[in-house]
Amino acid sequence: MTDTISDQPLVAIDPAWPRVSLADATAALTAPGSKFEMDMATIRGIPTRVWKHAPADLGVLLDLSRSHGDRLATILGDERVSFEAQYRAVAALAQALVDRGVGKGDRIAFATRNLPEWPVIFFAIVSIGAIAVPLNAWWTGDELTYGISDSGARIVIVDAERYDRLAAHRADMPDVGEWIVTRALTAIEGTTALEALIGRPADWAALAPRDRPPVALASDDPATIFYTSGTTGHPKGALGTHRNLATNILSGAFAAARNFVRRGEPVPDPAPRTILTVIPLFHVTACSATLMGSMAAGGTMIFMRKWDAVQAMRIIERERVNVTGGVPTIAWQLIEHPDRAQYDLSSLEAISYGGAPSAPELVKRIYEEFGALPGNGWGMTETMATVTSHSAEDYLNRPTSAGPPVPVADLEIRADDGVTPLPTGTVGELWARGPMIVTGYWNKPQATAETFVGGWVRTGDLARLDDEGFLYIVDRAKDMVLRGGENIYSSEVENRLYEHPAVTDAAVIGIPHRTLGEEPAAVVHLAPGTSASEAELQAWVRARLAAFKVPVAIRFTEGTLPRNANGKILKKDLKTLFDDRPGA
């Protein structure tokens, strides 16, 4: 099958662009002796191209971040934390964990909002060789309990809001040796206050200027478990390494440098950027693709308690924010807000996003109305974020593409047999490999063997590559709804619907939403003689899953749902049931 999506440029581009071909730009930037020089490393027995000058491990990255001194690392409201203060807090917490007997390979789970404490907790864990398990802060108590139990976490660190969700489940997690809670208004019995170990963010600069605990680390040591929903409905923990996360630092920097070379301009020295970080840090996009680069380059990450377009514009104006984004929703709300002209947003250089489908029109409007360059890319939890990067004129020229792979990555489009490569321009399943691919799924050998094959990850996405290697995603992994950057696997929601005594058949699909990309909707068949309303079933799901997974609309059918000869529900046939929704 050949994809026929139009990819015409949406804005006028310098007719002399590109002055340098993609291949020549890559060759120039990766030449021997250059910053982006590549090398070969053997990873799990497979020779792999790697960035020669990437930090060897996350402890090295932490030490590098200290060199930024008094530059601000994080801002949350009135809380402003310098890199030196952040380092001191990391070192103090790391020592506290070592004093508690935490060692290499031990899992420490944590869940908080985007707070200054988040990077401190993360680097305290990974810098001593333990495995950080960042949990989705939007999860319910049941979902958080699953992640904690599945990972075998020794210690759990949460903010007070997450602890409230987990308090009733503590008896279900007997292997957790200590609960550490931050930002609680009063002392909580049976827990340790994080503030008792490192103080509040305003106190960190006054902590003793100690070094981090000395621990021998290797590039391919395990460092993280990020949970990603699976088609069985049970989350799977993707086991990442120090190399996986360090790779993103140079991948992101390379993509930025390539834009200058394509224009025929000299590549400027790296300059720290101020980033309004809206996407949650428990996503690899924010943690791997944003936090790692900020630690290396001295960038300032600004957090918000929750997204609000007016508050965001105030922050952009006050802090002279250079970069923001996360998901298309954010860009749309900034563009269309009636008060936008009241704020000086001229500092914006780029608005980047991923994690949800975006309309080509958005690319055009970012450029024309902000004067900022749009950016996106492709990656997944199993690739620790960046595999392709797409920005600036390349994005304006190919608005439906996700960009070319970074030089240390390879992409293939394969036939249904999972082996045969398909010709350029042909749609098939996307496979990817490189030093950013995680080692597999935590404690799930069968799922690992099915997904990770010979250094490649089979993504489940349908895609094509053009003759220059630019990637086009045609469809996504089966049964997944992508709502504003959040993965929702249909089977997980369907399983909860099936638990309702009246439901005998159920299917969850994605329906289009202008700013979120899509939203979950459900079609159900009720058992004869039973009844249930849309609101009742929505409340049923809401009591069992995170709010973003609740179907926004439910339709009822008199008969069972349509299936093919193999018994699979024909979900494409169900989408017309929602044509009456506004904006459909």
Q: HEC profile for 379-435?
A: EEHHHCEEEEEEEHHHHHHCCCCCECECCCCEEEEECCCCCCECCCCECEEEEEECC
Distance CA 125, CA 103 (A): 9
Q: 3-class DSSP state for residue 132?
A: strand
Distance CA 371, CA 375 (A): 13
pLDDT value for 21: 96
Architecture per CATH, domain 58-69+81-217, reads as 3-Layer(aba) Sandwich (3.40)
pLDDT value for 316: 97
Give all strands (DSSP E) within 160-270, no chain letters: 178-182, 192-193, 222-228, 236-241
CB-based contacts of 493, cutoff 8 Å, min separation 6: 508, 520, 522, 541, 545, 549, 550, 551
* Pair 389, 403: CB distance under 8 Å: yes
CB-based contacts of 573, cutoff 8 Å, min separation 6: 562
Q: Compute the radius of gyration of the chain from its Cα atoms.
A: 24
| For the chain, domain boundaries | 22-54+240-475, 58-69+81-217, 481-578
Architecture per CATH, domain 481-578, reads as 2-Layer Sandwich (3.30)
Distance CA 194, CA 108 (A): 14
Same fold, 58-69+81-217 and 481-578: no
Tell me the H-state helices in 489-562: 490-498, 534-542
**CA distances (Å), 473 to each of 285, 403, 425, 484, in order?**
18, 10, 12, 17
pLDDT value for 1: 37
Distance CA 114, CA 475 (A): 31
pTM listed for this prediction: 0.87
Architecture per CATH, domain 22-54+240-475, reads as 3-Layer(aba) Sandwich (3.40)
DSSP state, residue 324 = E
pLDDT value for 560: 79
Question: Per-residue pLDDT for the chain (584 aa), expressed as one digit of tens each?
Answer: 333 345 666 566 678 899 999 999 999 999 999 999 999 999 999 999 999 999 999 999 999 999 999 999 999 999 999 999 999 999 999 999 999 999 999 999 999 999 999 999 999 999 999 999 999 999 999 999 999 999 999 999 999 999 999 999 999 999 999 999 999 999 999 999 999 999 999 999 999 999 999 999 999 999 999 998 544 467 899 999 999 999 999 999 999 999 999 999 999 988 899 999 998 999 999 999 999 999 999 999 999 998 899 999 999 999 999 999 877 778 878 888 889 999 999 999 998 876 555 667 778 888 888 888 888 889 999 999 899 999 999 998 898 899 999 999 999 999 989 999 999 999 899 999 999 999 999 999 999 999 999 999 999 888 899 999 999 987 666 677 888 888 787 878 888 898 898 988 889 999 988 888 899 999 999 988 899 999 999 999 999 999 999 999 999 999 878 875 445 678 888 988 998 876 55
* Pair 465, 430: CB distance under 8 Å: no
